[in-house]
Structure 1
């Protein structure tokens, strides 16, 4: 049995459009014998976790499974191993650095 990390994407929508579309990316640990089995198990997780409910304004909120976008084998579970990494480019790097520092400061206060 192998361990995989899977990225599952959900779309969050409401009856009334409130601006930008929202998506939630989940990183999930999946146990499987093969990469193909891990992809299938991640898709099943996504489908099982689709949901809908009424929010505080009595609007229907839907969490719709979009798809599995990445599945990576975890070679070994050791302290400090990299589980996931994403490189992206920013127009304004100072804004991103400030965002990172604000998030880090919030971790220290909780």
Structure 2
């Protein structure tokens, strides 16, 4: 059995959808014999996790499965194993670094930990 990290993408639609498009990208761990089976399992996860409910404003909110955008094999499950990476360029490095520190501070406060 092999392990994969699948990026499953959902679109979140509130009411009639007259709002800034919103997407949820979820990284899911998938166990499968091969890449084809892992992809099929990830697609099934996406379809099964679609949801529709009413929010506090009495609007219908949909989590609509879009697709499996990435599938990456995981060589081994060990403490500290890299499961996913994303290299991208930013227009403002300083702003990105500040944003990263801000997100870390929020996590640290929630977990009462330090990094």
**TM-score, structure 2 normalization:** 0.91
- 5+ long unaligned stretches in structure 2: 111-115
Which residue number in structure 2 is paired with residue 93 of structure 1? 93
CA RMSD, Structure 1 to Structure 2 (Å) = 1.1
Query: SS state of the match for residue 13, structure 1?
Result: strand
Which residue number in structure 2 is paired with residue 14 of structure 1? 14
The CA deviation at 1:16 is 4.1
The CA deviation at 1:11 is 0.2
Query: SS state of the match for residue 61, structure 1?
Result: strand
Which residue number in structure 1 is paired with residue 109 of structure 2? 109
Which residue number in structure 2 is paired with residue 34 of structure 1? 34
Q: Distance in 2 between matches of 1:76 and 1:90?
A: 31
Which residue number in structure 2 is paired with residue 77 of structure 1? 77
State the aligned residue count. Answer: 110
Query: SS state of the match for residue 95, structure 2?
Result: helix
For residues 88-108 of structure 1, what are the alpha-carbon distances to aligned partners after superposition, in whole Å with 9 as ceiling and x for unaligned?
A: 111112211111011111111
Query: SS state of the match for residue 46, structure 1?
Result: helix
For residues 59-106 of structure 1, what are the alpha-carbon distances to aligned partners after superposition, in whole Å with 9 as ceiling and x for unaligned?
A: 010000000011111111112111000011111122111110111111
- 5+ long unaligned stretches in structure 1: none
The CA deviation at 1:18 is 5.3
Query: SS state of the match for residue 52, structure 2?
Result: strand
Q: Distance in 1 between matches of 2:17 and 2:33?
A: 42
